[in-house]
């Protein structure tokens, strides 16, 4: 499975969560182009976490989520393919310096990033 197809499959798994696709490049630059997908949500991070967990449960396994200064994060291994891994973060938008003045995120509460571990997939 290629990184691109894995990102597409994981994005499909998240359908039904209160997420709006977002461009990762303005936040992360070209560094993550092709390995990450991003979304925004009008749902606060703590509530959105429950939705994301529920949608990813059929796809992968995690040892748990952690919260570091308001940012939720977890690492997952794909079900049936433990060598294929990805990470997910859910960041609050209001009050975060990296989102200050960014018109694209105005009115949104959370920013979700899903990043596929390149070394664990074929390109």
Q: What residue segments make up the domains of the chain, in order of their start? A: 3-120
Global model pTM greater than 0.95: no
User: pLDDT tens for residues 28-81?
Assistant: 665 555 688 899 999 999 999 999 999 999 999 999 999 999 999 999 999 988
Residue 6, pLDDT score: 81
Report the CATH fold assignment for 3-120.
Answer: 3.90.1150
Residue 123, pLDDT score: 45
Residue 30, pLDDT score: 59
CA angle 4, 25, 72 (to 5 degrees): 80
Q: Which CA distances in Å does 5 have to 10, 34, 36, 56, 86? A: 9, 10, 12, 16, 13
């Amino acid at each position: 499975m290629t990184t691109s197809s894995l990102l597409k499959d994981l994005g499909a798994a998240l359908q039904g969560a209160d997420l709006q696709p977002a461009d990762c490049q303005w936040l992360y630059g070209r560094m993550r182009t092709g390995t990450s997908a991003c979304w925004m949500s009008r749902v606060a991070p703590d509530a959105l976490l429950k939705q994301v967990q529920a949608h990813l449960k059929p796809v992968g396994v995690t040892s748990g989520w952690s919260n570091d200064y308001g940012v939720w994060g977890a690492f997952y291994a794909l079900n049936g393919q433990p060598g294929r891994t990805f990470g997910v973060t859910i960041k609050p938008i209001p009050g975060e310096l990296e989102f200050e003045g960014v018109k694209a995120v105005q009115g949104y509460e959370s920013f979700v990033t899903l990043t596929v571990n390149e070394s664990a997939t074929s390109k």
